[in-house]
Amino acid sequence: MALSISMNILLSPDRRELLEYANQLLDYFVKQFEIIYGVEFSSHNVHGLIHLCDAYQKFGPLDNCCAFKFENYMKELKLLIRKHEKPLEQVINRYSERNALTIEEIFNNTSNKNKNLYYTENPILEQEHNDGPLNENCTGSQYKRLFFKTLKIKIKGYADCFVLTNNEIIIKCLNIIYDKGEVYLIGKYFKNISSLYNDPIDSSMLNIYQVGKMSDTTKSWHISKII
């Protein structure tokens, strides 16, 4: 729990006031790790946790200095190489060609699993459909997927359909609407919302909740209410 909460704080751009608390949790975690498993198993990866708050102070949220995106992108770079001769030149040429594309063209030619590598300033809507639901005051083209900035919403499945609004309403997105240049989410909201845990910190401070009793009717939310 100590590691989970501290990482949640350090990955968030708006929780700098909890930075010292995260530092205390990581220090506690490393000390408990050494007590339980022995100092000999406290590798540099474990010890390095106590320095993560320093990285946050210097670079901001850990995603800003995380190497995982670069590691994940290595496969994409390898796909740009078509022969053994001059691999660096091949990568640079293909990369330059890709930079000349619009973000829509990039998305149309990029596998779904790698779309989170891109930060989109304009909403990207995918998989148009006509299955509803719609509201009387919210009609237009319907889509199943939305990519916007670092946000990804999919109405199918449970992984990416739940959204927290700016005023702490948790909704289940059932449809994505594009109407007159604006994007709306249609869904149902949970009437009961409370903290999942209160120790060692109130989980609501981390936007972690337990919910229940979903509304019977649907409502619509403008995308500005989500981010």
Of all helices (H) and strands (E), which one includes residue 18? none
pLDDT the model gives residue 139: 80
The answer, yes or no, to whether residue 2 has pLDDT greater than 90, is yes
Q: For the chain, give the percent of residues with pLDDT over 90.
A: 53
Distances in Å between the Cα of 40 and the Cα atoms of 6, 36, 58, 139 are: 24, 11, 30, 63
**How confident is the model at residue 23, as a pLDDT?**
95
Whether residue 113 is predicted with pLDDT greater than 60 in this model: the reply is: no
Residue 188: count of CB within 10 angstroms of its CB: 16
For the chain, give every domain's residue range. Answer: 1-64, 68-109, 120-225
Give the percent of the chain with pLDDT over 70.
89
pTM: 0.69
pLDDT in tens, 159-215: 899 999 988 999 999 999 998 888 999 999 999 999 999 988 999 999 999 999 999
